[in-house]
Amino acid sequence: MTVIYNGPLHGLGGYKGMSIDLGSYASVAAQTFTQPFLDAPAIFLTPTSDDLVYAASSAVGGFTPTASSATGSGAGTAANWLAFGRGDKQQSVGYLGLKQDIGSYNIQYGAATIDSATTFDEAFSSIPTIICGATSDEAVHVASAATTGFTPTESTGAGGTDADCDYIAFGPASGKHKLQGDLGVAKGKPGTAWIEVGTASTAAATAFQFPFQATPQVVVNPTSDGGFYAASADADGFTATDITLAGGGAGTSCVYFAIGTKLM
């Protein structure tokens, strides 16, 4: 386990040299970051079509999305991705790789039910980047995304039957909740927003560097050939656990993004 960042939400805007880049692709191919990172970042990769995929070959300049070896998986090829790590050129400016002012962005997060529509607390001005991770035994992809919400959908090839997931949506704000001002925390989220981003393994439970005030939302995405969900999450940590996949690979490594409230 390695903690890449533990700190306040405004760290997304360049705090302590951190940087963020995000994008999407329609077909599986190597992805190049807008600007290189200083170290290989944590990459969160969530399919937007029916597929099982993981982020392989991560480097400072990009990564390679790779289809899971699980048998019977869907034939989708599209996905959203978000990379977070120590920046090179854009961190001091506080700009996204998209060259848009990060201060005008909003971040919303919460729990959702797979195959049920989820409505954002506040609409975005354009469709946000959504990363999603199961919190019970089921693989999930993001379908039917809009400025007002999305539908997390069960992925073909997953043997589990559970229906819980956590999500983080990041995109241009349409209202007052922005990373500038009130930190982009959606309505109804009390306390100070805090995030922890790091790497984990199914080999052991993951303890947060500092506990949250309450159980945070935890998105776990694979960086090896397998599928994982965040089990037994509480204010102190979680356990990355294998999703039941027919013919799935033996990978154990993953990245996590935990976001919640913290008393200061």
Model pLDDT for residues 96-149, shown as the tens digit of each residue: 444 445 557 788 889 999 989 999 988 999 999 999 999 988 889 998 899 999
Match 């920046």 to its residue by tokens.
Answer: 87
Burial class (CB in 10 A: 0-12, 13-18, 19+), 88: middle
Asked which of 20-24, 229-233, 236-240 is least confident by mean pLDDT, the reply is 20-24
- Helix/strand/coil (H/E/C) assignment for every residue in 88-146: CCCCCCCECCCCCEHHHEEEEEEEEECCCCEECCCCECCCCEEEEEECCCCCEEEECCC
Domain ranges of the chain: 2-262
Instruction: Point out the least confidently predicted range of 3-17, 58-72, 100-114, 203-217.
Output: 3-17
- Average of per-residue pLDDT across 216-222: 94
Q: Is the pLDDT of residue 78 over 70?
A: yes
Mean pLDDT of the 214-228 span? 92
Q: What tens digit of pLDDT does each residue of 174-196 get?
A: 866 666 444 444 444 445 678 99
